[in-house]
Structure 1
Amino acid sequence: MASAWKDLPEGLSEPARLLAEELRRIKDAAGLSLSELAGRTHYSRASWERWLNGKRVVTEQALETLIGAVDCDAAALRRLWRQATEPAAEESSAGPADEEPAAGAAAEPADGAGPEGPSPATEETPEPVPAEPAVAWWRRPVALVCGAVLLALLLVLAGLRVSRHDDQASAADTPAPTAPATARPAPSDPPCRAVGCAHKDPKTTGCGKDARTLQTQVIGKVVVYLRYSRACQAAWAAITEGEPKDYAVITDSAGDSETALIHWGYDNYSAMLNAADPSIGFQVCGFQPAGHDCTSTVTDLASVVASTPIPIGPASPPPGAGSAAATPSDSAPPSQAPPTDLPSPSPSAP
């Protein structure tokens, strides 16, 4: 359904404007209302209103969820997002095109402009010089010798150029030696697994590549996630749509925990916990000034992924495990102050 869109903010950068316009086009082409779009992507209606009206640049997580939910050109949409989130390139420090050239120097035209007027040196009128009496060239032996030397030099240079051209042509005709074919190396195992991933960053270790969301919980406008990598056998917490000092804590039934604190922006993720033991349960709780709430506790995370078609993505809860169905359990961790020794946040949680 076509929408009567508001004008985008005047101060919006051109890449961000193009991204917002493309998101609007995709929504209209899919015939989705804001509520239907929120239901398909598991992001709130208010979040999509901000992204579609240029108030904020859409997060990478929400973009990937949209790509999985509707028919669109994924490569073009990701390229627009990268252009909108990359810092603006510095302007060239070249001087103005209308700057006059130095006296006696040839004026070169600027890109796309026509040639400039003559330089001050060419505009000056030469002083009159008395004409020399006409003398036949054969009566000037010095001039004759100089002309002969110059002609010989030109012939030598021409011969060198032809020789060099022939050498280059011969080299081009000779086939370059081919390197022996080598087998492409097989994909390597993840850099860490299970206890080896504990308390490490899921993004820098590559564990986020196959990550799946097993549980979500909405607290006001904040959404917290229980994330899991089957390749790394590790789990972690993520939080989106929050504000600085909002945080989420992942706790296992053995008492180990990690925290995702928003230092700046509105999302972050925690370090990982070992999730190899199927008897250990995991739960994520979110904390903000309005209150806190927790997801359900999940055990044997590998079996949950194997038995449920959970797509890879930043926000893809399994059927029946959405924010409305998730309720806190007896193992919810107590409220705690956010730690101060967390690593710097990433604007895109894995």
Structure 2
Amino acid sequence: MSQSWKPLPDDLSEPARRLAEELRAVKDAHRISLAELGKRTYLSKASWERWLNGKRLITPQALAGLIAAVECDAALLISLLRQAEAEREEGATEPAADLVPKPEPEPVPVPVPLPGLPVETPALPVEQLPSVEVPLVEAPLVPAAELPTGIPMARVAAAIAAAAAVLVLVAGLWLRGPQGGGSAAAAIPPTATASEPAPLCQGVGCAGKDPQAMGCETDDHTLLKGNVGQVVLYMHYSPRCRAAWAGITDGSPGDSATISTNTGWQETALIHWGYDNYSVMVDASPGDTTLRVCGHQKGGDGCTGVVTDPAARAAAAPLPVPPTVATTPTSRAG
């Protein structure tokens, strides 16, 4: 569905402006809403709103997801993104529309270069790093009151890891594609982890600290995701930092998501304004760590399942699956 677009920011570079206009044209041509665009690419509609309105420069992974999801001029879009990223790096000392710090930054992980771009790029502050969103593991929410407190999860974790390993192998073959062919998404090379800066904290040293400021978002794995009505809860984990945090999107002021561990540590992401936020981190380094995220919204409360051994879950790196409908959240009195 086409729409009346807001004017793009005046301080956008010419390639970034053209890229935003082309992305808008793709959305209008396919007559799809932001919500539908988010479902097809496994990214939030909040992120697409920022990219389409020039508030942030679209990430390489998000662009690859769009190219794989809808028919569009992949070569043109990739070329414009390369040009926009090059101009952003050249003008890194000057304010740019997509580098202005936001009070509510979106939680995003590993930067992935497009074909032809060098792997090693000039070092930027963590909050300015280009980023992508990690494929999600969907899990239905269960009412908080019904969550078990002592379920042995070793067999479940082992089964998940085994199934995920098969999916990763299939994904690798698909992404590699035929020689000389394949989609634009398949042409994007994997990130060279050797060029990533070291995180500023690990384990208990990360407790209570911002994952973006500490460099922990560069390898963010979303271990679980679920809905309470329209509100989306996330369980994030960084293998390099051995720490975890909660995220919440599509909410409203007053909504929150709290991550807790089996040691009793809790941190909360509260939406003060807008529609999303993320919490500071909890220590997830002990081998017996278990994690859970619970949401508190006007429409009711709900929790994700419990994750045991988050390091093994992240190493499995499962592919995204279509969203599932969560169970009805527990209604709150009044």
Q: Is the 8 A contact 2:243 2:282 kept in 1?
A: yes
**2:253 aligned to which of 244, 259, 274:** 244
Report what 1:148 is aligned to: none
Change (3 A) 1:323 1:237: farther
Report what 1:70 is aligned to: 66
TM-aligned CA deviation for residue 238 of structure 1: 1.2
Q: 1:236, 1:32 → 2: CA distance?
A: 35
Report what 1:38 is aligned to: 38
Q: 1:200, 1:51 → 2: CA distance?
A: 26
TM-aligned CA deviation for residue 234 of structure 1: 0.6
Report what 2:214 is aligned to: 205
Q: Deviations over 1:122-144 (max 9, x none)?
A: xxxxxxxxxxxxxxxxxxxxxxx
Change (3 A) 1:247 1:49: same
Change (3 A) 1:327 1:220: closer
- Partner AA of 2:256 in structure 1: Y
Pair 1:6-2:3 in alignment: yes
Q: Is the 8 A contact 2:55 2:98 kept in 1?
A: no
State TM-score, norm by structure 1: 0.50
Q: 2:48, 2:214 → 1: CA distance?
A: 34
Change (3 A) 1:189 1:52: closer
Query: In the TM superposition, what are the counterparts of 1:56-95 in structure 2 within 5 Å?
Result: 66-71=62-67, 72-73=77-78, 74-76=81-83, 83-85=96-98
Pair 1:283-2:292 in alignment: yes
Pair 1:274-2:283 in alignment: yes
Structure 2: segments with no counterpart, 5+ residues: 68-76, 89-94, 101-193
Change (3 A) 1:324 1:28: same
Report how many residues are paired: 216
Query: In the TM superposition, what are the counterparts of 1:1-350 in structure 2 within 5 Å?
Result: 5-9=2-6, 13-14=9-10, 15=12, 20-27=20-27, 33-34=32-33, 37-43=37-43, 66-71=62-67, 72-73=77-78, 74-76=81-83, 83-85=96-98, 189-309=198-318, 318-319=320-321, 323-324=323-324
- Partner AA of 1:25 in structure 2: A
Report what 2:155 is aligned to: none
Q: Is the 8 A contact 2:207 2:282 kept in 1?
A: yes
- Partner AA of 2:63 in structure 1: I
SS of match in other structure, 1:38? helix
Structure 1: segments with no counterpart, 5+ residues: 88-184, 311-317, 336-350
Q: CA RMSD in A?
A: 4.0
Q: Is the 8 A contact 1:218 1:323 kept in 2?
A: no
Identity, % of aligned pairs?
38
Q: 2:52, 2:318 → 1: CA distance?
A: 33
State TM-score, norm by structure 2: 0.52
Q: Is the 8 A contact 2:289 2:308 kept in 1?
A: yes
Change (3 A) 1:58 1:292: farther
TM-aligned CA deviation for residue 298 of structure 1: 0.8
